[in-house]
Amino acid sequence: MNVFLAIALTILSCIVIQFIYKIIFGSKDESQKHETENDIADPVASTENASNETRPSGKNKKRATWKPKTDFSHPWLMKNLKGHPGNVLMVDFSANGKYMAATCDEPNSAVDPASAAARRRKPRDRRRPPSSSPTSTPQRISTEELAEALRPHLLSPKRMWALGYPLEIEPNSCKAVVYINPPPRPRPPQFTSFDVNAPEFVPGGSQSDSGRGSWGSTPRSDSDEEADAVEHLCVRCDKMFRMTREGEYVVEESCVYHWGRISSDSRYTCCDAPFGSKGCSSARFHVWSGTRPGMNGPLEGYVRARSPRGGIYAIDTEMCYTTAGLELASIAVIAADGRLVYRSLVKPSSPVVDHNTRFSGIRPRDLARATKTLRDVQNDILGFVGNDTILIGHALENDLRALKLLHSAVVDTCALYPHSRGFPLRRSLRALSQELLGRSVQRSSSGHSPLEDARAAMDLVLLKVHEERAQRNRVTNQLSILQPYDPLISAA
């Protein structure tokens, strides 16, 4: 009986405790539930409360509900966001405080979504500085129109002779003659000192004189000199050196020279040394160009196109120094539309003395894998070059001499853009490309590129043709405006 009474009292006490708990803590749970429902219904208000709770100040003030306005006073509310054409209505931070959220109204005018997407796809590149001289490529024209425009610029035989182009001695002889008129090369000042105590020299008049001359050397005839060796002028250091007929050096002497040009302030561009100073570069041997000032010839091994094929091509070659002078090492041919027509490495026929890598870009490994000879390249060139084909180049006479090609229809950019001080001075291709095309050529430390130089020459010619067309159009418009008044024509 006592056990049942204890169980009943325990159950009754649990019911009383539960009832008291609901009375005390039930109001708090209902208030929390009500706040949760309000947060779900108003996410903006909950975001604001959460952002307020994350602030270090500890203040938890509930913001008033945002109401739309028609008049905006804050400067941010007067602007447009990127990619949104409407005005900004509200700006606020996210709950974690890392991002900023904003809302915009819809614009009245329609916006092209393609243009907006294009603006988003092209971000501004702040790392690339704007170029001072933008590169310009002249507009291509048809071959027939270009050929007609270049007819007045074809070099005459007299002009080709003065510029050093190879010309045929007799028809169908395949023998050429070249007249070299080198430009005046500055010489360092030489000061001669006189010795007042020097003995008077009388040729053969003194008993002490053995008749061998002032230096005690036995005079030799010209025939003996020619039989032993031939004297050449080094094109780098302007010193004379001797070679045998077989191409061997009589005296192996190193060449010390300046590879740069002489600037306007009489300094070398390679090392900024004053004019006349000792060279800054050295080579193992002296080199020569293969020609001499004045008349050269008759020269054998030249070829000429016999049948017409049409077309316009720009040619540029690179050469290396051999025992026989400059010989062809690389060639590139460009068509009028800019496409590459022919490019090849060429194996020289004589032993190579200097690859001239600084300017030609040719290295020993390049010539080691070259399989074509000069005769092979000549056959390839004559496969698409006819006697009426117009060839374009810068100082093209050097390229034709290296190719041993006789051609009469040529356009030289040296003649199209002459030097301000006249012939025989010439403007370099690098200066013309930089000034007129805004393009940097021949600036690589690994040497020149024949493909790049040929395209630059073709673009310079196209630029000249477009300038002449524009000038003719201006003159025609001016003449039509300045024509005298004719009442009969006006009445008609």
Whole-angstrom Cα distance, residue 46 to residue 48?
5
> Which among 291, 288, 289, 295 has a CA at the least distance from the CA of 177?
295
Give pLDDT, residue 132.
43
Q: Say if residue 439 is exposed, middle or buried (CB neighbours under 10 Å; 0-12, 13-18, 19+).
A: buried
Q: Which residues contact 489 (CB under 8 A, 6 or more apart)?
A: none
Contact assessment for residue 260 and residue 358, using Cβ atoms and an 8 Å cutoff: no
Contact assessment for residue 234 and residue 250, using Cβ atoms and an 8 Å cutoff: no
Give pLDDT, residue 56.
47
Whole-angstrom Cα distance, residue 394 to residue 375?
23
> Tokens for 413?
């950019």
> Tokens for 366?
């390049």
Q: What is the pLDDT along the chain (492 residues), one digit of tens a residue?
A: 677 888 888 888 888 888 787 777 665 556 555 555 555 444 444 444 444 444 544 445 555 565 555 554 555 544 445 555 556 666 666 666 666 656 555 544 444 444 445 455 545 544 444 444 456 678 888 899 999 999 999 999 999 999 999 999 888 888 999 999 865 566 555 544 545 555 554 444 444 333 333 333 344 444 454 456 899 999 999 899 999 988 899 998 999 999 888 887 888 888 889 988 889 999 999 999 999 988 998 999 999 999 999 999 999 999 999 999 999 999 999 999 989 999 999 999 999 999 988 888 889 998 998 999 999 999 999 999 999 999 999 999 999 999 999 999 999 999 999 988 888 888 999 899 999 998 888 776 666 789 999 999 999 999 999 999 999 888 877 766 656 655 655 554
Contact assessment for residue 139 and residue 301, using Cβ atoms and an 8 Å cutoff: no
Angle between helices 450-481 and 143-150 (to 10 degrees): 70
> Which among 238, 240, 218, 219 has a CA at the least distance from the CA of 229?
240
Q: What DSSP line would sit under 51-114, residue for residue?
A: HHHHSTT---PPPPPP---SS--SGGGGSB-TT--SBEEEEEE-TTSS-EEEEEPPPSS---HH
- What 86-93 contacts at long range (C-beta under 8 Å, 24+ apart), as own/partner pairs, is 90/66, 92/47, 92/48, 92/51, 93/51
Strand partners for 326 = 321
Contact assessment for residue 425 and residue 419, using Cβ atoms and an 8 Å cutoff: yes
Whole-angstrom Cα distance, residue 245 to residue 46?
101
Task: Give 3-state DSSP helix, strand, coil % of the chain, rounded to 5.
Answer: 35, 20, 50
Angle between helices 43-54 and 2-41 (to 10 degrees): 100
> Which among 461, 412, 453 has a CA at the least distance from the CA of 429?
453
Domain boundaries, the chain: 143-182+297-478, 227-292
Contact assessment for residue 164 and residue 252, using Cβ atoms and an 8 Å cutoff: no
Residues listed for the chain: 492
Distances (CA, A) of 237 to 142, 188, 278, 327: 46, 12, 10, 20
Q: What is the CATH topology of the domain spanning 143-182+297-478?
A: Nucleotidyltransferase; domain 5 (3.30.420)
